[in-house]
Structure 1
């Protein structure tokens, strides 16, 4: 399999390298953004858990036994804590699966670019001899 005649010139080679470089920069940006999202989600999950813990501390709880307001508040705090745990587990999943896949893709793209560059250099040297 070879390149079409439109892709055999110096400008086409530079355009392909430029495209590969742009894709690598995009993958780097994606990695930084996802890593930042994971960090922010974890911090938010910790903050939610802290708010839920603080909200569950009720002074004179014995006086509020059977109160609908108290039971609603406790339910809301439990839901808030559950949301924090879910957010943290999603952040962990993104870090373990998505970022790993993105790192693998980035590595593969770099290898492909290097291989293309080496092959192009080899063919160009053969052509000049």
Structure 2
């Protein structure tokens, strides 16, 4: 069982997935920082000096013992913007990768194989 697990872990797909998850987590932090530090302040300034993190609907005011109970829809808006930025960047990455793959496939298709060359020679001999 340990041998099977070792084979499973050492396969390239599992390692690629692990690297992808780690890079994705780091990328998520970068996007969160970008949205929190750059996009949201500019958007708040455009809308009217609104700090989105402070947008909330208070359900119950804080009293001496209990904290305030509120729906923080400003954070929700910020998370939606994070999602849209990440989704757009991933879209651009996939589009670029697909374009590169298409160019590679075209380059491979252009070079005839040995069999194709032989078939062309046979065809030309049959025409004569």
Same fold (TM over 0.5): no
More strand by share: 2
| TM-score, normalised relative to structure 2 | 0.39
Structure with the largest fraction of helix = 1
Q: Which has the higher contact order (CA 8 A, sep 6+)?
A: 1
